[in-house]
Amino acid sequence: MERRGLTQAQRRQFACFLFTLPALVVVFVFFLFPMLRSLVYSFTNWDGIGRDVQWVGLKNFVTVVTDSSFRQVVINTLYLIVIYVPVLNVVALLLAVAVYNAGRAGSIYKSMLFFPNLLSMTVIALIWKIIYNQGGILNQFLKAVGLKILTRDWLGLPQTVLPAMSFTIIWFAVGYYLLIYLAGLNTVPVDLYESAEVEGVTRAQKLFRITIPLIAPSITINIVLSTIGIITLFDLPMVLTRGGPGYLSQTLALHVYFYAFVQLQTTYALALAVLLGIFAMIITSIQLRLLRRREEASR
């Protein structure tokens, strides 16, 4: 009897595995395997077509890193992370607190702020291209209110292209991150605020002493999600600036695409993709470690 029971359990395990198998095959063939190939082939001269594959060691990486555009691309990517992640999260958190406090109308604001998130980033980028254009609405508006001195080609100048792009991405994304903060806020017990009120706690103290520590998990999620999001973002910068002018708004994610599908330099694209993957993993794991520690410390 016992032996039969064991095989039955094994048969059940095997059945469970069969359920999982189709998905595993698709994930393996169309995602994991190509990734592993990128890792391996980035050390070879594989160009996708040739049969004769040879190890070249770190040559591809050296070429990519020493390319004149690389420094600019890394600086741009870091710039976007450093500007976008904190600004987005602070704005989203403040708006979430405001929506929370707005009472019944809150759900209307929530929907309005979330709205751009539904549109394709191609559409979003196109809209902002029209706005930032030399003869675009932003410049016309500035002229109309007597600030002609401020008018400029927002996406064509080195000083303004990345700030303009960051602004557009924040405008697009803020509603989504707001929703996550709002979900976090809704888990905070209201009595806490009420008793704080009785003790005469100021508004800033409420925010920093009660709200932020209690929604620390949402903060962690949002910071990691927004960092991964900005590192891998493709659609919006692709349509908004195509990395231009020159390489001044090119990011790592965009650069992989250009290497692979525009300049047709497969070996360099692979090396850069591997660097991008390592970069994303390092940054997010550092963030996770730091944020989790803070979460625990604030408990």
Partner 1 sequence: MKARRLLGYRRRSRLGVNVVMIIISLLLVLPLWYVLNNAFKVEKEILRQPLVLLPSTVTLENVVRAFTAMNYPLRFMNSVVILALSCAFLVSLGTLAAFGIAMANSKFMNRVYGVLVAMITLPFQLAMVPLIFMLKGLGLMNTYWGTALVYSGWFLPFVIFIYTGFIRTIPRELEEAGRVDGCGLFRSLLSIYIPLLKSVTGTVLILRGVPIWNDLLVSIITLSRSTLSTLPLKLYSFIGTYGSAGTKWTLVFGSTVIVSAPILLVFLFLQRYFVKGAVAGAVKG
Residues of this chain, 233-252, that bind partner 1 according to CB under 8 A = 234-235, 238-239
Give the shortest CB-202-to-partner 1 separation in angstroms.
12
Q: How many residues bind partner 1 (CB under 8 A)?
A: 106
3-class state of residue 6 by DSSP = helix
| Ranges within 130-169 binding partner 1 (CB under 8 A) | 130-131, 133, 135, 137, 140-141, 144
Out of 20, 54, 66, 68, point to the residue binding partner 1 (CB under 8 A): 20
Give the shortest CB-231-to-partner 1 separation in angstroms.
7
- The amino acid present at 214, given as its one-letter code, is L
Check residue 216 for interaction with partner 1 (CB under 8 A): no
Give the shortest CB-57-to-partner 1 separation in angstroms.
19
| Structural contact between residues 122 and 235, judged by C-beta atoms closer than 8 angstroms | yes
Give the shortest CB-211-to-partner 1 separation in angstroms.
9
| Structural contact between residues 212 and 219, judged by C-beta atoms closer than 8 angstroms | yes
CA 267 – CA 193 distance, rounded (Å): 58
165/270 with CB nearer partner 1: 270
Check residue 171 for interaction with partner 1 (CB under 8 A): yes
| Ranges within 92-111 binding partner 1 (CB under 8 A) | 95, 98-111
Burial 220-249 (b: 16+ CB within 10 A, else e): bbbbbbbbebbbebeebbbbbbebeeebbb
Question: For 52, how many CA atoms within 13 A lie in the half-sphere containing its CB?
Answer: 0
Out of 114, 167, 213, 294, point to the residue binding partner 1 (CB under 8 A): 114
Indicate the Cα dihedral angle 101, 102, 104, 106, nearest 10°.
-100
| Ranges within 54-93 binding partner 1 (CB under 8 A) | none
Check residue 127 for interaction with partner 1 (CB under 8 A): yes
Check residue 214 for interaction with partner 1 (CB under 8 A): no
- The amino acid present at 259, given as its one-letter code, is Y
Give the shortest CB-206-to-partner 1 separation in angstroms.
7
| Structural contact between residues 116 and 124, judged by C-beta atoms closer than 8 angstroms | yes
Give the shortest CB-293-to-partner 1 separation in angstroms.
19
| Structural contact between residues 231 and 77, judged by C-beta atoms closer than 8 angstroms | yes
Q: CA triplet 61, 66, 72: central angle to 5 degrees? A: 110
Check residue 31 for interaction with partner 1 (CB under 8 A): yes
User: What residues contact residue 177 under an 8 Å CB cut-off, 6+ apart?
Assistant: 88, 89, 92, 222, 225, 226
Give the shortest CB-61-to-partner 1 separation in angstroms.
15
| Ranges within 257-286 binding partner 1 (CB under 8 A) | 257, 260-261, 266, 269-270, 273-274, 276-277, 280-281, 284
**Torsions phi, psi of 199, nearest 5?**
-85, 5
